[in-house]
Chains A and B, each alone.
Chain A
Amino acid sequence: GAVVSQHPSRVICKSGTSVKIECRSLDFQATTMFWYRQFPKQSLMLMATSNEGSKATYEQGVEKDKFLINHASLTLSTLTVTSAHPEDSSFYICSASAPGGYTFGSGTRLTVV
């Protein structure tokens, strides 16, 4: 089946630094990927839709300059959290529209200290 690989699974960074999270489709081409944020005991909140070769579409309230998305190839989308602050600590999950449904990565636990 379609597999989405997300790295890193965990990252701890200092406040003010930037962190890049990668999302790869391993056995299919993903023209569209999605980035979600999930707080403890809550549902997934869509942050943005990443389109290969074009600008991402951000959901209302999501700062595009803070959460930079790049989808330069059909198998890779990246989310960069710029100038991270403790309130950016969360679980970030990517997803891709794949044959048979939407496949999710295993998530990245970001802790900003």
Chain B
Amino acid sequence: GQQLNQSPQSMFIQEGEDVSMNCTSSSIFNTWLWYKQDPGEGPVLLIALYKAGELTSNGRLTAQFGTTRKDSFLNISASIPSDVGIYFCAGRLIQGAQKLVFGQGTRLTINP
């Protein structure tokens, strides 16, 4: 099936550092979504992107919808301990197709 390649799989950083993760695919997407999942919880939407080239911020988070429609990145600036968790990208392949394809996730660990 369709897959999103998300990298890195894990990150170990110091508090205050910036974080960058991305997702790529060989397929074209019309929607990119970034989620954060805490242990034992469902994913929580961070940022939604609907147009190629779109750059959107949510506090210290910034995400972009790649111009080729095949990739997206998420940046977190000045990381804090509560940023710890697993981040997933998700994409909707074609307009009208409702199901999402998920990346493999990026596990973020922060050393205080």
A89 interface contact, C-beta 8 A: no
B40 interface contact, C-beta 8 A: yes
Chain A neighbourhood of B90, CB < 8 A: 102
In contact, A106 and B41 (Cβ under 8 angstroms)? yes
B78 interface contact, C-beta 8 A: no
Instruction: Name B92's closest neighbour in chain A (CB-CB).
Output: A102
Chain B neighbourhood of A97, CB < 8 A: 98
Instruction: Name A107's closest neighbour in chain B (CB-CB).
Output: B42
Chain A neighbourhood of B104, CB < 8 A: 42-43
Binding site for B on A (CB under 8 A): 4, 6, 32, 34, 41-44, 46, 49, 60, 91, 93, 95, 97, 100-107, 109
B65 interface contact, C-beta 8 A: no
Partner of A34 from B1, B35, B88, B99 at Cβ < 8 Å: B99
Chain B neighbourhood of A103, CB < 8 A: 45
Partner of B45 from A32, A34, A101 at Cβ < 8 Å: A101
CA distance A93 to B105 in the complex (A): 16
CA distance A102 to B100 in the complex (A): 9
B33 interface contact, C-beta 8 A: yes
In contact, B103 and A106 (Cβ under 8 angstroms)? no
B93 interface contact, C-beta 8 A: no
Chain B neighbourhood of A106, CB < 8 A: 41-42
In contact, A101 and B33 (Cβ under 8 angstroms)? yes
Closest Cβ of chain B to A4, distance in Å, is 8
21 contacts between A and B (CB under 8 A): A34-B98, A34-B99, A34-B100, A41-B107, A43-B88, A43-B103, A43-B104, A43-B105, A44-B43, A46-B99, A49-B98, A49-B99, A60-B1, A93-B43, A101-B33, A101-B45, A102-B45, A104-B42, A104-B43, A104-B44, A105-B42
CA distance A7 to B35 in the complex (A): 21
In contact, B100 and A46 (Cβ under 8 angstroms)? yes
